[in-house]
Structure 1
Amino acid sequence: MQLAEKITGNVARSVNPHGLEQMMSQQIATVRSRGTYAGAKCALILGGSASYGLGSRLTAAFGQGATTISVGYARPPQADFLGAAGWWNQVYFKRAAEKAGLVAQNFNANAFLSSTKQLVIDYVRQELTEPIDLLVYSIAAPKRVNPNNADETWRSVIKPIGHSVTDFSLNLEQERLVEQTVAPASAAEIAATTHVMGGEDWELWVHTLRDAGVLAPNCKTILFSYEGPTATAAIYHDGTLGRAKRAAEASARRLQQLLAPTGGEALISVNRSAVTKASAVIPGFSRYVMALLQAEQASGTHETTVAHQDRLFREMVYGDQRQMDDEGRLRPDALELSTTMQAAVAQILPELTPARFTTAMPGYQAYRQAFRQLSGFAVPGVPAEFDWDELSDNYD
């Protein structure tokens, strides 16, 4: 059967499992090419099916040799649906890890639920001999049920605070830039976004695992944040998502006080801009990333998500080359935000307007390919065909 790629607006509606399998092999090869390093023995990755969570799991397993547990929900295959990309990423990761003699466990579940936390606790107690000594929090979700009131659901929004913002965004379906105005968030929306995207659930995970006795005394835990340049500040850093990240940083300080006495550590890493399914819908963000990718292509300095995460853990989390800011946050994004790179980006941005935009622009080509590869398309040498019976052999 033929695989048909479908993008609606900026949302991918289809998947090529063969392409995802090839992308997984390439990412594993990136980590392995850099050799092994001392790190975790048992890593729990919350949000390990894609992007920075998947990159963290890859370097933990194939760089550190760790047992890895991943929690995150992605729709599995059904009779008329091939499944979400994240589901296949989990399947192909587990297969590759076990082939390499590593332990890998996937929980396709809602990370916010207390029942999911108990699943992890039971698994560590019953199946493993080592406690969790690395906890990565990389959850990007649209909503979260209040753990103290099941009738209340918080929904996150991507909005500015205090004023409207107008910017150009990429419409991948129509392959054109469109002007978009986003109204400011209400106080309720700001609070809800903080509940979903802040550090509340991160703290719950750490406390729950620690109280259950499955967290190593010297456990490191890390949450990923984002600062970005002036070009994205109004909608991100100064908006609802930025407010949530400030709350997460406060959570890190509280967790540091909890873990430090036994040799543990709570970290925030400010990561580079990346093409992800979640970031594709942030107004103005795709325009900036296209300019960044074009500037990085010209200078030969582009860093993939897995390479970024491998450098973060290899050099900063477990290495002696930490780059930290005045707030004590790790800054692997320093390469992107350097004066030289931002000057190059600033020269390209004026070209990225609806009137001047063309699909031949190198930044657009790089962005579109990266976005398509998140679903397994545009992977060189991978056919757009599948055999349902053959794919079903991959099911756990």
Structure 2
Amino acid sequence: MIIEPRVRGFICLTSHPEGTAENVKQQIEYVKSKGKIANGPKKVLVIGASTGFGLASRISAAFGSDAATIGVFFEKPAAPRKPGTAGWYNTAAFEKQAIDAGIYAKSINGDAFSDEIKKQTIDLIKQDLGQVDLVIYSLASPRRTHPKTGVAHSSVLKPISQAFTNKTVDFHAGIVSDITIQPVENQEDIDNTIAVMGGEDWKFWIEQLKAADVLAPGVKTVAYSYIGPELTYPIYRNGTIGKAKDNLENTVPELNELLKDLRGVSYVSVNKALVTQSSSAIPVVPLYISLLYKVMKAKGIHEGTIEQMQRLFSEHLYSGNAVSLDEKGRIRVDDLEMREDVQQEVAKLWEQATSENLEEISDIRGYRNEFFHLFGFNFEDVDYESETNEVVEIPSIKA
């Protein structure tokens, strides 16, 4: 079938198998161009492995240090006349490239919050790898059914205490407008967001992996967070999501205690603002990112997800030196974004931004292009007018 992008708000309802394969290929080529990561991981579990930072982490491990990887995710398979999700196609392309390179790669599709998928993952590790020496936790989901209580929790994206008004952008139309977001009405909304996006499930994973003796001595585990500039604090860091991120970061000491006898360690890596399916849904953030991209590209310091993760692996986790942490014990891969000169220029542009000058002062075109790249569209080397086979299988997942 011929697959075209069908967009509803911040979501693209279709994805292109050849385009997503091109996206994965480009990320793999970047990692290869940086050379092998000395003393990198060898057996890796990536929870949330099909898109964004999770996918880039899996690629960095596999093609940066020839690591065997198991990826866990929840994606819709392809079917006749019904394209699969981008994450499904990404994983199919990744596994094919890994197999061709002689690198072990298997995947599990299902609810990573559930005990059933945790057990299935543990069984696969025991069967094929024995133990893993790196666990990446990169889940991004709007809801979670708690495996112990059966309660379904849904996250909310809201400020706390008072309404928040600021600029935002419809990145498809290029229209800048003001938006007001009302605050949460009760503590339950905050608690639900923490239940979905906090550190409890990360801890459940590590507890069950350790109990099953599938964590190698010296194991590392990393989860991802974001801080951002003050202008986004009310909706992000000081909002409901921020409370969840605080909870995630506060899980690190608990995991370090849990892993002490294995000489293991846990980290939270604070990453740069990037175009992802999640960030596109947050008011204010797309405008900030489009201005940030303009400034960072002009300075020659722009990074995408793959550049971020390759740098996390090579310069922090496996550099051979002590891992550099901030005052709250976090790895900071957002260091270039948060440089004072960068933030000062973004702040000036923010004040100037209107619908009329947006194309000139921002990289809204780059934002739009990266958004479509997430779903396999807008790649120059892909012929989107030709028929493509929408039914693509992931080699390790049997229908």
TM range (shorter): over 0.9
* Cα offsets for 1:135-185 (capped at 9, x unmatched): 0000010101122222x2100111111111112222244342332211111
Shift in CA distance, 385/107, structure 1 to aligned 2, threshold 3 Å: farther
Aligned residue number for residue 190 of structure 1: 190
TM norm structure 2? 0.95
Deviation track 1:51-101 (CA, whole Å, cap 9, x = no partner) reads 111111111100011100110111111233211101100100000011111
Question: Partners of 2:235 and 2:324 in 1: how far apart?
Answer: 26
Q: Distance in 1 between matches of 2:385 and 2:390?
A: 11
1:247 matches 2:247: yes
Q: Distance in 2 between matches of 1:321 and 1:93?
A: 31
- Give the percent of matched residue pairs that are identical in Structure 1 and Structure 2: 35
Distance 1:40 1:371 in 2: 30
Question: What are the residue-to-residue correspondences of 1:211-360 with 2, within 5 Å?
Answer: 211-319=211-319, 320=321, 322-354=323-355, 356-359=356-359
Give the Cα separation in 1 of the matches to 2:217 and 2:339.
37
Q: Name the residue aligned to 1:204.
A: 204
Name the amino acid aligned to 2:303.
E
Structure 2 residue aligned with 1:156: 155
Deviations 1:167-226 (A, max 9, x none): 222224434233221111121010000010000000000000110111112110011011
**Cα distance change of structure 1 residues 125 and 291 upon mapping to structure 2, 3 Å threshold:** same
The 10-residue stretch of structure 1 (247-256 or 73-82) with the greater mean CA deviation from structure 2: 73-82
Give the corresponding residue for 2:176: 177
Q: Counterpart of 1:208 in structure 2: which amino acid?
A: Q
SS of 1:378's equivalent? coil
CA deviation vs aligned residue, 1:339-388 (integer Å, no higher than 9, x gap): 1111121121123234x344455410110011110011111121114545
Q: Contact between 1:137 and 1:223, CA under 8 Å: does it hold in 2?
A: yes
Q: Equivalent residue for 1:13?
A: 13
Name the structure, 1 or 2, with higher relative contact order (CA <8 Å, separation 6+).
2
State how far apart, in whole Å, the 2-side matches of 1:120 and 1:279 are: 28
CA deviation map 1:255-299 (0-9, x unaligned): 011113321001011111010011101111111101100101211
Q: Secondary structure at the match of 1:227?
A: coil
Q: Letter of the aligned partner of 2:233 in structure 1?
A: A
Equivalent residues of 1:252, 1:267 under 8 A apart: yes
2:284 and 2:228 mapped to 1: Cα distance?
A: 12
| Runs of 4+ deviating beyond 6 Å | none
Secondary structure class of the residue paired with 2:236: coil
Aligned partners of 2:291 and 2:361 also within 8 Å: no
Structure-to-structure mapping, 1:53-202, within 5 angstroms: 53-128=54-129, 130-150=130-150, 152-185=151-184, 186-202=186-202
- TM value normalised by structure 1: 0.95
Q: Deviations over 1:21-75 (max 9, x none)?
A: 1111110011001111221111000111011111111111000111001101111
- Identify unmatched segments of 5+ residues in structure 2: none
Could you tell me which runs of 5 or more consecutive residues in structure 1 were left unpaired when the two chains were aligned: none
The 1-side partners of 2:360 and 2:7 are apart by 19
The DSSP-based 3-state class of the residue aligned with 1:116 is helix
Distance 1:393 1:198, change over 3 A: closer
Task: State the Cα RMSD in Å.
Answer: 1.5
